[in-house]
Amino acid sequence: MHKKKLKLPFNKGELKKLDKPEYMKNNYATWRKFRKDSNANYYILPVEMKKYLPLLKSNSLNLYLFYCLNSNNEDGTSWYSTDSLAKSLDASTRSINTWNNDLIDLGLIYRIHDGKKSATTFLLPLSNYFVKVISPDLNKYIQTANTDIDGELVSVIHLFQWRKNSEKEEYDQPYNVVLLTFEKTIHPKQTNGEIIKKKKYVLLEIEEEIKEFSISLSAQNFQEDIYWFESPLEGKLPADILVKGIALSTVYNLKDKDYRYVLDTIETLSESIIHISEDTVLRV
């Protein structure tokens, strides 16, 4: 019979007596590793929550933490009536309604009643993020976007980049993707004119319209990190939606597995449409 080796969450190395600060750090690290290795449930609280703390009353924060700890880990949903929340937090239903309104006002949650006793509560993103999508049609995707949740579409950028040809080890493969920037602006009632902005970036690969598009400048001749070009998408969207074409140097990798790096890159690109010099415009 195969014997499974017993593994304990101890640190490797010689045992030694630790001073109190080191003991406390080791104590927490061991507990954290145990929770991770045992696949125990937990909620990841992003560091961006710090900017909300001065705006939240302690009781509203308690309610938010309750939602965080009791929501579905995958989609952030929970189903609690005002009565059940009041019972769980030892508060009045009137207080629960007030705290819910505080959280909604700050853009931390969204609640839908649908005529049911228990409302559906949705946790909302706390920070900027991006998602990759494949769609056959840019216009249709824009039309299906929920601006009430994601915010307004503030920019559309046709990104072009030469990708590496694995057979020839040269950067001669065209790669096209559309960067959509949605911006949600929140005006909390309990602040003195302070606003909160959250952005959702969509890297949209369109299957037909621009898949084979390329520019006249080869990867080897790039002298700048980014260039403007006239995109074939210009004029194909509603008049109030401006499309910019940006060619990106091969120094940057839009397909990198480091999502933080990709987010930093596309945030810079989204802002760049204001700052790109006219001297870097290409005609293709």
| Structural domains in the chain plus CATH codes | 47-123 (1.10.10.10), 129-282 (no CATH)
Which stretch of 13-17, 109-113, 232-236, 261-265 has the lowest confidence by average pLDDT? 13-17
What is the C-alpha R_g of the chain? 25
User: pLDDT value at position 87?
Assistant: 97
User: pLDDT value at position 20?
Assistant: 83
User: pLDDT value at position 284?
Assistant: 47
H/E stretch holding 122 reads strand 119-123
User: pLDDT value at position 278?
Assistant: 54
User: pLDDT value at position 39?
Assistant: 78
pLDDT in tens, 83-95: 999 999 999 999 9
In angstroms, the Cα distances linking 17 to 27, 68, 74 are 13, 38, 42
Q: To the nearest whole number, what is the mean pLDDT of the chain?
A: 86
DSSP 4: P
Mean pLDDT of 120-124: 94
In this structure, the number of other CB atoms found within 10 A of the CB of residue 78 comes to: 21
Residue 273 has pLDDT above 90, yes or no: no
Most confident of 27-36, 188-197, 273-282: 27-36
Do residues 151 and 183 touch, judged by C-beta distance below 8 A?
yes
d(CA 183, CA 154): 7
User: pLDDT value at position 274?
Assistant: 62
Q: How confident is the model at residue 41 (pLDDT cuts 50, 70, 90)?
A: confident
In this structure, the number of other CB atoms found within 10 A of the CB of residue 148 comes to: 8
Residue 172 has pLDDT above 90, yes or no: yes
In the block, tokens 């949605």 appear at: 182
Q: How confident is the model at residue 280 (pLDDT cuts 50, 70, 90)?
A: low
Do residues 241 and 268 touch, judged by C-beta distance below 8 A?
no
Q: Which of 21-28's residues contact partners 24+ apart within 8 Å by CB, and which partners?
A: none
User: pLDDT value at position 148?
Assistant: 85
Question: In this structure, which amino acid lies at residue 208?
Answer: E
3-state secondary structure of 1: coil
Alpha helices (runs of H) in the chain, residue ranges in sequence order: 20-37, 58-70, 82-88, 93-105, 138-144, 147-150, 259-275
The structure tokens listed for 202 are: 């969509």
Do residues 111 and 101 touch, judged by C-beta distance below 8 A?
no
Burial pattern 161-183, b for ≥16 Cβ within 10 A else e, equals bbeeeeeeeebeeebbbbbbbbb
In this structure, the number of other CB atoms found within 10 A of the CB of residue 52 comes to: 18
Beta-bridged to residue 186, according to DSSP, are 196
d(CA 51, CA 119): 27
User: pLDDT value at position 15?
Assistant: 58
H/E stretch holding 90 reads none
Do residues 157 and 130 touch, judged by C-beta distance below 8 A?
no
